[in-house]
Amino acid sequence: MQISDRPQRRLVRISGWMFAGATVVAVAVIAVDWFSAGTASVLIGPLDDQILLSASVLIASVALVMGLLSVSSPTWMLPFKILGVLGAAVAVLGAGFSTLWSIDVTMTTLTDNGCDTGYVVVERSLLMGSSGTVYRQDGPMVSSPMARTSGNDAHQPFAAGDYGAAVDGKALIVEYRPDPAGSRVTLELPVIADRRPSCGYANTSLSARPEPSELTEPAEVLTPTEVDAEIRRLLDDSLAVTAGTPIDAAGATLDASAAIPNPVPCAEGSGMQHHVNLDFRTDDNARSVTRILGVWDDAGYESDRAMQEDIRYSETAPVARMTIRDTTSIDGLVRMTLTSACMSAE
- In our burial notation (b when 16+ CB lie closer than 10 A, e otherwise), range 130-153 reads bebbbbbbbeeeebbbbbebbbee
Q: Within a domain: residue 216?
A: no
Q: Within a domain: residue 64?
A: yes
Q: Within a domain: residue 214?
A: no
User: Which of 98 and 304 is assigned the larger pLDDT?
Assistant: 304
Alpha-carbon gap, residue 47 to 58, rounded angstroms:
15
Is pLDDT above 60 for 1?
A: no
Q: Within a domain: residue 212?
A: no
Identify the pLDDT of residue 14: 83
Same domain for 118 and 72: no
Contact 165, 117 (CB under 8 A): yes
Is pLDDT above 80 for 227?
A: yes
Residues with Cβ < 8 Å from 166, sequence gap 6 or more?
112, 113, 172, 173, 207, 208, 209
Please report which confidence band the pLDDT of residue 215 belongs to, taking 50, 70 and 90 as the band edges: very low
Mean pLDDT, residues 119-137 taken together: 84
User: Mean pLDDT over all residues of the chain?
Assistant: 82
User: Which of 271 and 245 is assigned the larger pLDDT?
Assistant: 245
Q: Within a domain: residue 199?
A: no
Same domain for 307 and 239: yes
The boundaries of the domain holding residue 146 are: 106-190
Identify the pLDDT of residue 5: 53
Mean pLDDT, residues 35-56 taken together: 83
Last residue of a domain, one of 61, 77, 100: 100
Alpha-carbon gap, residue 247 to 332, rounded angstroms:
11
Identify the pLDDT of residue 246: 92
Count: domains in the chain = 3
Q: Within a domain: residue 1?
A: no
Please report which confidence band the pLDDT of residue 212 belongs to, taking 50, 70 and 90 as the band edges: very low
Same domain for 253 and 151: no
Identify the pLDDT of residue 214: 44
Same domain for 59 and 31: yes
Same domain for 152 and 50: no
Alpha-carbon gap, residue 125 to 137, rounded angstroms:
22
Q: Within a domain: residue 208?
A: no
286-332: pLDDT as tens digits = 999 999 999 999 999 998 887 778 999 988 889 989 999 998 888 89
Contact 67, 10 (CB under 8 A): no
Mean pLDDT, residues 78-84 taken together: 73
Same domain for 121 and 38: no
Same domain for 85 and 33: yes
Mean pLDDT, residues 115-120 taken together: 90
Same domain for 128 and 228: no
User: Which of 279 and 84 is assigned the larger pLDDT?
Assistant: 279
Is pLDDT above 50 for 216?
A: no
Please report which confidence band the pLDDT of residue 282 belongs to, taking 50, 70 and 90 as the band edges: very high
Q: Within a domain: residue 166?
A: yes
Please report which confidence band the pLDDT of residue 269 belongs to, taking 50, 70 and 90 as the band edges: low
Same domain for 228 and 295: yes
Same domain for 75 and 113: no
Same domain for 258 and 307: yes
Last residue of a domain, one of 100, 116, 144: 100
Same domain for 93 and 151: no
164-182: pLDDT as tens digits = 888 888 889 999 888 877 7
Last residue of a domain, one of 50, 71, 100: 100
Is pLDDT above 50 for 124?
A: yes
pTM: 0.52
Is pLDDT above 70 for 4?
A: no
Mean pLDDT, residues 209-228 taken together: 61
Identify the pLDDT of residue 338: 92
